[in-house]
Amino acid sequence: MNRKRMDKTEKLSFQLGEIPVVFDIPVMIATTVAFLVVLALSLLAARNLTMVPTGLQNFIEMIIDFTSGIVRTNMDEKTASRFYGFAFTLFVYVVVSNELGLMFNVVTSEGNHQNAYAWWKSPTADINAVFSLAIAITLFAHLLGVIKSPKLYLREYFKPYWWMFPLHIIDEVAKPLTHGMRLWANIFAGEVLVIVLLQMNWLFAGAPLMVWIGYSLFVGVVQAYVFTILAFIYLSQKISTHD
């Protein structure tokens, strides 16, 4: 049975002692490109700063205002000011990563079409890249909680009753899991449907493809917003709630 399937991706794999380590090369390429795009955007916007912003500076200031609003709704003013940079970086990076894979695709094939390799995709359409973001944010939140007060941090696990401890552990594990999967599933489903539509006759698939790509652009921005909001909800739970 010859069914259509997704193109394979080139892997970089080696043994680290007993553990096999596998890196997905398209994800590495796309992550680097996303990082460079964010860096270039910020550097270009920060050139020729004026008091009355115009053009790109105006646009970036709008985004900073927006992300700072997200932080302010979750934390008090004094703590919030430390996180403005983090919120902006996280939001812009996730937006750029979400939209990267929608622009074009690079496929190389040797000989027949069975050995086609894809070289370009959204980094957030790969579950490992997304989980690394989510787990890093969770570790950061726990670290901030411990630094603030180890005693209060531990006490949170035994509230309101001591036997609630297992439920808190499940909660802490489920948080990064759903946080990462939320982003990954949306972007992955979007890209897969684009691939499926591209394999159909353009006469039937042309209009749905355009609609779907437009919707995917919208979903990419909304999911980046949700990802940032949830990151700050988890952060604020660890540093603001104990009293």
Distance between CA atoms of 185 and 125, rounded to whole angstroms?
Answer: 7
Distance between CA atoms of 226 and 222, rounded to whole angstroms?
Answer: 6
With respect to other proteins, which residue has the nearer C-beta, 4 or 47? 4
Candidates 101, 99, 24, 83; CA nearest to 236 is 83
With respect to other proteins, which residue has the nearer C-beta, 8 or 159? 8
Among 2, 3, 16, 243, binds other proteins (CB under 8 A): 3
Residue 1 makes contact with other proteins by CB under 8 A? yes
φ/ψ of residue 109, rounded to 5: -140, 140
CB of 4 to other proteins, least distance (A): 8
Among 25, 229, 233, 239, binds other proteins (CB under 8 A): 229
Cβ-proximal residues to 186 (8 Å cutoff; 6+ apart), any chain: 219, 220, 223
CB of 129 to other proteins, least distance (A): 15
Q: Please say whether the beta carbons of 63 and 87 come within 8 A.
A: no
Q: Please say whether the beta carbons of 105 and 118 come within 8 A.
A: yes
CB of 72 to other proteins, least distance (A): 15
**Between 124 and 163, how does the x/- string for binding to other proteins read (CB under 8 A)?**
----------------------------------------
Here the tokens at position 178 are 């759903």
CB of 231 to other proteins, least distance (A): 14
Residues near other proteins (CB under 8 A) are 1, 3, 5-6, 178, 181-182, 184-186, 188-189, 192, 222-223, 225-226, 229
